[in-house]
Amino acid sequence: MTEEKYNGYDTSIVYDYKDQPDIKSGRCDNCDKAQFKSSVKDYVYIRECRNFGMKKSI
């Protein structure tokens, strides 16, 4: 199993928005797109980039 890494970001990790805020508000830090899939689990909102797969808990 290999981990995909892009520009230093690991797509297998869920980053915390407080520790890793967006470089440009509302856009993916890696690909700069604003299209996300979102989900909620145990009262935690997870935002995942549709193009890149980077995840952040908001």
**What residue spans define the domains of the chain?**
8-57
Look at residue 5 in the predicted model and tell me its pLDDT. 61
pTM: 0.80
Look at residue 10 in the predicted model and tell me its pLDDT. 86
Look at residue 1 in the predicted model and tell me its pLDDT. 43
CA within 13 Å, CB half, 30:
18
51, 31 Cβ separation under 8 angstroms: yes
Q: Which positions ≥6 away from 56 have C-beta within 8 Å?
A: 14, 15, 16, 17, 20, 22, 46, 47
Look at residue 4 in the predicted model and tell me its pLDDT. 58
pLDDT in tens, the chain (58 residues): 445 567 788 888 999 999 999 999 999 998 899 999 999 989 999 999 999 889 999 8
